[in-house]
Amino acid sequence: MKLIAKPASGEFAPYTSIYIDLLPNDGRILQHLATNLQNSSTFFRSIPPEKLTTPHRQGEWTVQEILLHIIDDERIFAYRALRFARGDTTTLPGFEQDDYILPSRANQRSLASLLTEFGTVRQATLSLYNSFGQDVLTNTGVASNNPMSVRAIAYHIAGHELHHIASIRENYLSSGVDII
pLDDT at 24: 98
Provide CB contacts within 8 A for 135, sequence distance 6+. none
pTM for this predicted structure: 0.94
Buried b (16+ CB within 10 A) or exposed e, 99-127: ebbeebebbeeebeebbebbeebbeebbe
| Sign of the dihedral defined by the CA atoms of residues 73, 74, 77, 79, in that order | negative
**Any idea where the domains of the chain sit in the sequence?**
27-172
pLDDT in tens, 88-147: 999 998 888 877 788 899 999 999 999 999 999 999 999 999 999 999 999 999 999 999
Picking from 120, 105, 115, 97, the residue whose alpha carbon sits closest to that of residue 53 is 105
Query: Can you tell me the mean pLDDT for 58-66?
Result: 95
Using pLDDT thresholds of 50, 70 and 90, give the confidence band for residue 174: low
Higher pLDDT, 170 or 95: 170
Contact 62, 106 (CB under 8 A): yes
Q: For strand 140-143 and strand 146-149, is the pairing parallel, antiparallel, or unpaired? A: antiparallel
Query: What top-level class would CATH report for the domain 27-172?
Result: mainly alpha
| Sign of the dihedral defined by the CA atoms of residues 27, 167, 65, 143, in that order | negative
pLDDT in tens, 5-31: 999 999 999 999 999 999 999 999 999
Q: What percent of the chain has pLDDT over 90?
A: 87
